[in-house]
Chain A
Amino acid sequence: MTTAEESCRELIRRVAGAFRLGMEADGNAAFVSFVDCYIPLLDKIPPQRAQVAQPLLQKIFTAQQNRDYLYLADLLEYGGLPF
């Protein structure tokens, strides 16, 4: 596992944990860090696998926009984001 991947996984834990505990400010701050960390990783993933990420990321952003935070936490933790 690369350092960047480890960082992303750690950020996912932080985002999901904060949102499940109702800590919205913490969750949103960590979510921004996660996006900054994960998007550059997509360029390094084989195109076929990276394609899987697109619809999932769309769902993730929609859940964040709708403030559906438990679902957002689920998508991040269990949705199967490719690394």
Chain B
Amino acid sequence: MEDFFEANLAIISRRWPDVGQRICNADFPDSVEIDESGTEPALVVNGLHLSSIYDRLREAELQATLIPASSERAWVYGLGMAVLPRVLLMRSVLKRMNVVLFNPKIAKAVFHLIDHRDWLNDERVELQWHADHSDVCFPFSLNPPSLQLAEVSAYRLRDLVSLTLATPHIQKKHETKEADYRKRLDENESFIAQDGDVKFFWDESKKHSIVVIGAGPTLSQHYGYLKAHRDKHYLIVVDAALKPLLEAGIKPDVCVTQDPTEKGVLRFFSGISDEALAGVSLLYFPLTPGRILTDWPGPRFVSYTQHPRYQLLLQKYPKGTLFSAGSVIHPATDLAVKMGGNPVILMGADFSFPGGDSHVLGSPAHSTSKKSRKFDWLVNGYGQKVQTIANLKGYLRDLESYILKNPEVIFINSSKDGARIEGTVYSDEVSL
């Protein structure tokens, strides 16, 4: 088989010397095969086909539809077998195209096995590393397996691209539930009218360190610290961590609940005695199941999110709003920030399955994961890969975006076993 590496590299090194250097220094992927079982051969890298084995041009033409035909700019995430860049370069209207590489090993294999000189020589092309991109650029298209094969340092950009693509699906799912949500809002209106405003907490102006307690498996690592230093911190716990925290003998100041599904959320509260909850406030959202509100023995406070469905209620019963992006850890963290917490200490915010556990032991949501290729990966505080799933990746990236928008606040991640959260420092790097 002909080797095109030197010919391809000559162009890359001339036009983008840093890219050329990185590819030169890279090893080959663990596994590279050619699948010739279809009508067109395709590279299979680490078990993933980089293109169709039947009609890769049609496939790339479909991918190219993500970029409007009139666009003068295009970003292509992932190289694949470079069919998509070629398809886009056929557009005379296109003036500039950035092809973003996610893994030097894959690039090395692809540049060895395929002649890319035609499109690499096109003046409109800019070849870049993922590291040059801190956020998603629009309009973009992609070679999906190239993102799945991303190197560890490209995980954040990979997830931001995936999150962008998944957003319409997530919105569609919520739209199907909108009628039920309207009914719930009607049922909860009297609570919303009477209960306290989340702004009560902001007025408290605690101005001290606030701990946001998530239900990740690493929460149990901190029980000893929390017991010993309970008076030093204000504790905000998410609903899924309430039971295990109380069982560990630690009483939080406020519990935040957001999940509107009864099946998902009632279990977090069932069986807890009124005595155990004495003095604990509940912060909820307008879609919280009514049974949680009627059963809660202590003070209740309500918050809105930015969602347009709350606009009418907000006008009728003006109260504060918290940041929300799918996980209860988001409003819990925003509450800590709005209360003036600095630092904000995150415990049990793992966004992953360290040790194979989904949640902290004792949480009704706890389960043990089985090893499966269906898992995604994130990087933990030690730089090692840790199992996760798609929605947790999305929650993590949304929290990171929130953190980056609040640079005046120090966010402390208390465990290195869970996913690394960009914008946080680790507790062993600061004094609590």
Per-position contact with A for B21-60: 1 when CB-CB < 8 Å, else 0?
0000000000000010010001000011111111100010
CB-nearest residue of chain B to A19: B144
Per-position contact with B for A21-43: 1 when CB-CB < 8 Å, else 0?
11111100100000000000000
CA distance A74 to B55 in the complex (A): 9
Q: Which residue of the partner chain, among B35, B49, B59, B166, contacts A25 with CB atoms under 8 Å?
A: B166
- Indicate whether A20 sits within 8 Å of B62 (C-beta atoms), given known contacts A67-B373, A70-B51: yes
Q: Which residue of the partner chain, among B49, B63, B161, contacts A68 with CB atoms under 8 Å?
A: B49
Please, which residues of chain A bring their CB within 8 A of the CB of B292? none
Q: Which residue of the partner chain, among A24, A65, A67, A74, contacts B52 with CB atoms under 8 Å?
A: A74
Minimum Cβ distance to chain A for residue B96 (Å): 22
CA distance A19 to B62 in the complex (A): 11
Minimum Cβ distance to chain B for residue A71 (Å): 4
Q: Is B170 among interface residues, defined by CB-CB distance under 8 A?
A: yes
**Does the CB pair B54–A78 fall under 8 Å?**
yes
**Does the CB pair B59–A70 fall under 8 Å?**
yes
CA distance A77 to B62 in the complex (A): 14
Number of interface residues of A (CB under 8 A): 21
Minimum Cβ distance to chain B for residue A46 (Å): 26
Number of interface residues of B (CB under 8 A): 32
Q: Which residue of the partner chain, among B145, B147, B390, contacts A70 with CB atoms under 8 Å?
A: B145
Q: Which residue of the partner chain, among A17, A21, A25, A65, contacts B390 with CB atoms under 8 Å?
A: A25
Given pairs A20-B59, A68-B48, A71-B48, 7 additional interface contacts (CB within 8 A): A22-B147, A22-B165, A23-B166, A65-B373, A70-B145, A73-B59, A74-B53
19 A-B pairs with CB atoms under 8 Å apart are A17-B62, A21-B142, A21-B165, A22-B142, A22-B144, A23-B166, A24-B166, A24-B390, A29-B169, A65-B374, A66-B48, A70-B48, A70-B49, A70-B50, A70-B52, A71-B48, A73-B59, A74-B38, A78-B54
